[in-house]
Copies of this chain bind each other. A is one copy, B any other.
């Protein structure tokens, strides 16, 4: 496998004025110029990529993980990130959740006529920087332009290809009664950061998105040779939806100890203001980890050594299902329990 190109950000891009026009999506001179002066210097500074319709990647005997996500976050820039870093880390994390080592990304831009070229440049630079941090290469791309009023500046799609070590087998069906449930950090910051910016609110303590790549943490778990059962990043719908889905898919009950789930006071306050349950708010750098009980402590130690998951904690355990489809229960300090159902999906639109 080839290395990440060095110096992806050392090559200065020209400052840009003007805005996106329909000609930038037409396949002619304007699009070629956009590719040559903006996308290639950012994503392929060494000029190693062949200019062709597909990227060609070296083969390997390993299984591949393949995933895609589109990003329509509103606003495009928010505290702690932007649609560009979100599109890179979001897809990197989806690959990591399959136990794979992320390697290659594609980037599909749907630009709205009139979108400022300097804003596009900020997004592209952010993607290049995020790709460098996550050790992936953006190897192929596409640009389309839609009429003014038919988009929202930029929508992004990234698909990703990763390599999965032969001995890794993480999937919902492997979750079993007795497993420990870990969460990689405090919850709710991404959703609150985006909502606050959208609502034009400033909190006394600025809340930054938790947006971060999780692949190093997954590698650390794999290297620690713990019996990893399942991983899921806590994006749309948050912890509540992820657990409810996994309980249904794995046909198990899951019991969570509310006092162990970390939510920053500022996030809790903002959620009260918005009328949201922080357990259902989206995160972009948090995951739930199901691991065999005997390996739970070792898994937590491995996570604690990685900056992105330094706040990992054990929050609950998997039980035999009492009856019917799997359910999730949240137990508070007073011993009271309440169910965590699947969310309706109306909580937070356009959060990612």
Contact = CB atoms under 8 A, between A and B. Distances in A.
Interface of A: 22-32, 50-72, 93-95, 97-98, 100, 104, 106-110, 139-142, 144-147, 149-152, 155, 157, 159-162, 164, 171-173, 232-233, 235-237, 241, 245, 249, 282, 342-350, 352
7 contacts: A26-B346, A28-B236, A55-B65, A59-B61, A59-B63, A64-B64, A157-B157
Given A52-B98, A68-B140, A150-B152, A349 B57 contact: no
Contact of A32 (B145, B161, B245): B245
B54 A67 contact: yes
Contacts of A61: 59-61
A26 B151 CA distance: 19
A23 B344 contact: yes
Given A59-B63, A72-B110, A150-B151, A32 B162 contact: no
Contacts of A346: 22-23, 26, 28, 30
Counting chain B CB atoms within 10 Å of each CB, which of A24, A30, A69 scores highest? A69
Contact of A54 (B22, B100, B104): B100
A65 B54 contact: yes
B54 A94 contact: yes
Contacts of A147: 349-350
Contact of A69 (B22, B23, B142, B149): B142
B144 A70 contact: yes
Counting chain B CB atoms within 10 Å of each CB, which of A66, A160, A236, A349 scores highest? A66
B141 A68 contact: yes
B241 A28 contact: yes
A15 B342 CA distance: 25
Contact of A149 (B60, B149, B159, B171): B149
A339 to B, nearest CB: 14
A66 B140 CA distance: 7
A54 B55 CA distance: 20
A146 B149 CA distance: 12
Given A22-B349, A51-B249, A59-B63, A159 B68 contact: yes
7 cross-chain pairs, A with B, having the tightest CB-CB distances, nearest first: A27-B236, A26-B345, A28-B345, A159-B159, A27-B237, A68-B106, A28-B343
